[in-house]
Chain A
Amino acid sequence: MSATDDISRMFRMIPWLAEHQGVAVKEAAREFGITASRLVHELGTLCVIGSDVGEIARGSFEYLIDFDLDEADNGRIFVTPSQYISRPLKLSQDEALSLLVALRSLQDLVDDESAAHATSAIAKLTALIDPDAGHVEVTVDHGADGVRNLLASAITANEQLQLVYDGVNRGVTTRPVIDPVALVVHGGSAYLQAYSRTREAWRYYKVNRIAEATRTGSPTLDHGPPPPRQWVDEVEGTVELHLAAGALYLLEYDPVRESGELDDEVYLRWARVPLADRQYLTNRLLRHADQVRVAEPHLAQQDAVRIAEGALAGYAQLAEEGR
């Protein structure tokens, strides 16, 4: 903890203690993450600051704080701050910016009304800092605004929805009836967490793949608490991939566990990736062909080859008919 953090804490602590007169020493110490003895020592030192000031100032004689040591011995804190320590320090640029960016990122997720409250909170915070603070721009991929607002309102109002959804792995449109419970961001994209009445299971739906959402007119049912979020499960274990130049970007987009350099002219790096299902790897092999090498034989390779053969047959037939 640097001196600046520590001083910043003092300027928070004294006004807070003044607001919470008679607070237990232990509770106050816990609130500010220090030991009880340190807290009492600090207050004991701060309350004698000021006694010498008359020597130089002629007139202005005051203590930094007034602190009741006897009450502290009884385990309670009573503090009266002077005007010199009556408020916390102003927000640093980094503090304000970090909070502003957090507020902006949630605007892409909540209903229009909450987004408006975020806007007014942002305006109040922005007024507190130097307008030339660093620029930070964040966007959440949240699909169409209309869909996002409908989902957010349905969650708040406990309304059941029917979705028209672009399924990912199976690559086909589905129309599940769902009870929506939450909008969650993962990897820069918004997901709807919902109980699928169609599948009778908890599901995440990527919001930008929701083509349409319609209220069914029924209320949602209580399905108990949803299971804890697990984005990258390893149902199928992990797999080691060798990446050529054309597939290196996988390191930036996929949930890579470990990676390192390879001593090979073509395959520059290795990466160990968790497999939620086999389809993930099949899709990667179809996309990258020889730019990805699987370190140990995997069933997904057979799937990819079968799908590639099917596609070649399709193209052969097109060529036949075009003749």
Chain B
Amino acid sequence: MAVSGERSKPVQRAKEGKSNTLRLMHLLFILQSVQQPVSRNQLTDLVEDYQRADSASSARMFERDKATLRELGVDVEVTTIDGDELYRVRSRDFFLPEVDFSAEERTVLAIAQRVWGEQAVGSQARGALAKLAAIGVELDDEPVHAFQPTLSADPSLDVLWRANSARLRVRFTYRSSRGEQRERDLEPWLLGQRAGAWYVVGFDRERGQRRTFKLARIVGAPQTYGKAGAYRVPADLDPVAVMASISPERGQERAVVAVRGEYAPSIRRRGEPTGHEQTPEGYAAYALTYLHDDALVGELAQFGADVLVLEPQQLRDLMVDHFRRVIAAHASTDEGTNP
């Protein structure tokens, strides 16, 4: 499978990267192969780059290298003898364990590898599959036409994904539903996608409570800050229940509407057939439950005279008022003038 490769970068950096990598490989090999833990002085004698640098920058280089190895999942053991730190690597836990996938499982993995498309988060999944390919889990590269799942993209997703999995605090500017913008400071607990929209749920540090934010309303790029593992996600968090609570509520309000013939199928399917004495000829009456007047008025207005509200009277008045506003706002523009 294709693996995203080296992008063109200034030659100098590419060279540095190369030697850093080979130095790290050398260091890791020594730490793994020694019989006894070794000191930094011993390592300096063995690794060329440490020798060449002056003592202070050699020490910094070694600290950085240790951090990089740990980032890769390598357990660098430290023992202190007579005030001297000694290092070695014994655990082989940083290697991918034995794992195999059946032909059918590989077929679904082949579909899964296309889910993220070109998104940055998807390069992580491709990285996982590349590691599996190295131990022989090779996938068919031909796209499976019959099933094409995709996950929606969002410009903030990549940063929040890392924040969420590394437990990094994050700051961002957020636009409320009323259009006001405010800075937020969040400890992410959960990322979720509902109806194609991404949400992040977490602890809002200013308000001191759980809050849900829609990624589409984040203005600019979110910034992580501080250290990984900066907070704990509540152990009793139920991600499925939290995401379900984001879905629109069914509502308690009740209305009876008349739908003409086979029109407005979404309303007919949602509603409960009922009888009503005012049902016009060619119409059938349906009972609907709903949450807010405003949302229902807007939804029903799209059907014009094909859906008429029979009761309650107050909702019927709102419909009439709404259609008058449609006419007032859009009627005169065909002459090229705005009201």
Contacts and interface: CB of A to CB of B under 8 A. Distances in A.
Interface of A: 1-4, 6-13, 15-16, 19, 31-34, 38, 41-42, 45-46, 49-50, 52-53, 55-60, 62, 64, 84-99, 101-103, 105-106, 108-110, 114, 117-118, 120-121, 124-125, 127-128, 132-141, 152, 155-156, 165-167, 171-173, 181-189, 209, 211, 245-246, 248-249, 251-253, 268-269, 283, 285-290, 292-294, 297-298, 301-302, 304-305, 307-315, 317-318, 321-322
Given A59-B35, A137-B240, A98 B108 contact: no
Nearest to B335: A297
List the 9 closest pairs (A to B, CB-CB), nearest first: A33-B5, A188-B196, A166-B265, A134-B165, A98-B124, A307-B304, A102-B115, A187-B196, A290-B329
Contacts of B116: 98, 102
A42 B135 CA distance: 21
Contact of B330 (A101, A140, A301): A301
A252 B42 CA distance: 59
B224 to A, nearest CB: 13
Contacts of B221: none
Nearest to A87: B95
B326 A305 contact: yes
B263 A4 contact: no
Contacts of A87: 95-96, 134-135
B196 A1 contact: no
B21 A10 contact: yes
A62 B35 CA distance: 12
Nearest to B9: A1
Interface residues of B, number: 135
Interface of B: 3-7, 9, 17-18, 20-22, 24-26, 28-30, 32-36, 38, 42, 45-46, 68, 71-73, 93-97, 99, 101-102, 104-105, 107-109, 111-113, 115-116, 121-122, 124-125, 127-131, 133-136, 145-152, 161-162, 164-167, 177-179, 188-197, 214, 216-217, 233, 237, 239-240, 242-243, 261-266, 268-269, 278, 280, 294, 298-299, 301-306, 308, 310, 316, 319-320, 322-331, 333-334, 336, 338
Contacts of A121: 101, 105, 108-109
A292 B338 CA distance: 13
Contacts of A42: 18, 21-22
A307 B192 CA distance: 39
Contacts of B133: 12, 16
A90 B72 CA distance: 9
Contacts of A53: 29-30, 33-34, 46
Nearest to A187: B196
B164 A288 contact: no
A282 B253 CA distance: 28
A138 B193 contact: yes
A125 B164 CA distance: 19
A286 to B, nearest CB: 5
A1 B99 contact: no
Given A105-B151, A182-B146, A311-B319, A172 B265 contact: yes
